[in-house]
Structure 1
């Protein structure tokens, strides 16, 4: 979906990424830190932002190319535009109106892009919840052990996937009996398939979504 459908400002191309004329006038270079956090002010545009131990905070109406964090969260205000955002240990959150050209990804952390987000790629996490509110995802939404909640008029253009979980060792042996929860609101839509490669608790307010469910569970037998 074209970004122009969601913004009334004109856009120009900078480093292969769309941003507003206002941001282009305040364009900066890269941020690359091992220790310490990074902050982007309103109206500023940065190219790539890379942080090892620290968080990234972007004020409303700011933009960046790729954001990559190892140990830390990514927090964005309203109407932020980025090419992509990923973190290993931390969450990705926005206040609303987020636009990305590519993916939102975490390993250990939740993804909450706020209402009316437009995600041009995948939304993916391993150990973290995903909450989408009246938003659009152009490709797939997937997790391993997190809850997924699709609220409002959210549309997933691709598949929604629960990937398989390996067994983890407990005090009493090997086991992993807890089930994540998938909630799809009455007005939310998954246009692709709902692929369950593990047991999941389903809360489907839209009965039509039940026909999308495909179980692909390999129990090892």
Structure 2
């Protein structure tokens, strides 16, 4: 699927789900219930535990020692403090930024926005962006990391058990026609490890502190 198609489908699906207000039964049993808004932001306080958080136009802030099920936004960012647990988070236009000891049992995804965490994140699902950087420090990631037009930085002793993937970009309209000359970059620190492959579907600037990471690179362009 092309980038333009992916972005359009993602936006449509996110808007449809949020407008419907349909969520899992498990989320309904959360002590503080669900949050479902078309306009307006949401603040989850320390020690508060919500079900699904769904916003169309608004941001989410989660204080330390809080939790939620699915956090799903269309236009807005997700700001998360230390020691927070969620099932998954996604936003179309906005960033996902988390503090220390962030635990995610599912996936993280953005279309237009970065994903970054501080020390000791634990993420069970995939991490995906289209137009956004991905930054992890001392994190444990069980599945794949992928982007189209973003940079990826794996710092500290981050471990990626899956693959790191730079997907094929769509073309952008320039004055002289269709082109996309922006080259993303991948930085892997000396103590960071990718256990799977580094799959490049486009040219990428590679910066490996450990030259052994070069053996993981698979070019598909």
- Shorter-chain TM-score bucket reads 0.7 to 0.9
Q: Does 1:118 align with 2:131?
A: no
- Which structure 2 residue ranges, 5 or more long, are not aligned? 1-24
Q: Could you say which residue in structure 2 is the equivalent of 1:209?
A: 213
TM-score norm. by structure 1 comes to 0.86
In structure 2, the partner of 1:75 is 79
2:165 is the counterpart of 1:161: yes
Residue 178 of structure 1: how far off its partner (Å): 1.5
Task: Identify which of 18, 39, 46 aligns with 1:42.
Answer: 46
- Secondary structure class of the residue paired with 1:39: strand
Q: 1:32 aligns with which of 36, 40, 49?
A: 36
Match of 1:144 among 136, 141, 148: 148
Relative to total residues, which structure has the larger strand share, 1 or 2? 1
Q: Secondary structure at the match of 1:211?
A: helix
Distance 1:112 1:177 in 2: 25
- For 1:190, the equivalent position in structure 2 comes to 194
**Cα RMSD over matched residues?**
1.4
- 1:84 pairs with 2:81: no
Which has the higher mean CA deviation after the structures are superposed, 40-49 or 165-174? 165-174
1:47-70: CA deviation from partner (whole Å, max 9, x where unpaired): 000000000000000000000000
**Alignment partner of 1:198: what SS?**
coil
Query: Which residue number in structure 2 is paired with residue 15 of structure 1?
Result: 26
Deviation (angstroms), 1:93: 0.3
TM-score (norm. length: structure 2): 0.86
Task: Report the CA distance between 1:145 and its aligned residue.
Answer: 0.4
Moved over 2 A (4+): none
Rounded to whole Å, the distance in 1 between the matches of 2:210 and 2:119 is 20
1:106 aligns with 2:117: no
SS at match of 2:56: strand
- 1:127 partner SS: coil
Structure 1 unaligned regions, length at least 5: 1-13, 17-23
Q: Distance in 2 between matches of 1:170 and 1:71?
A: 26
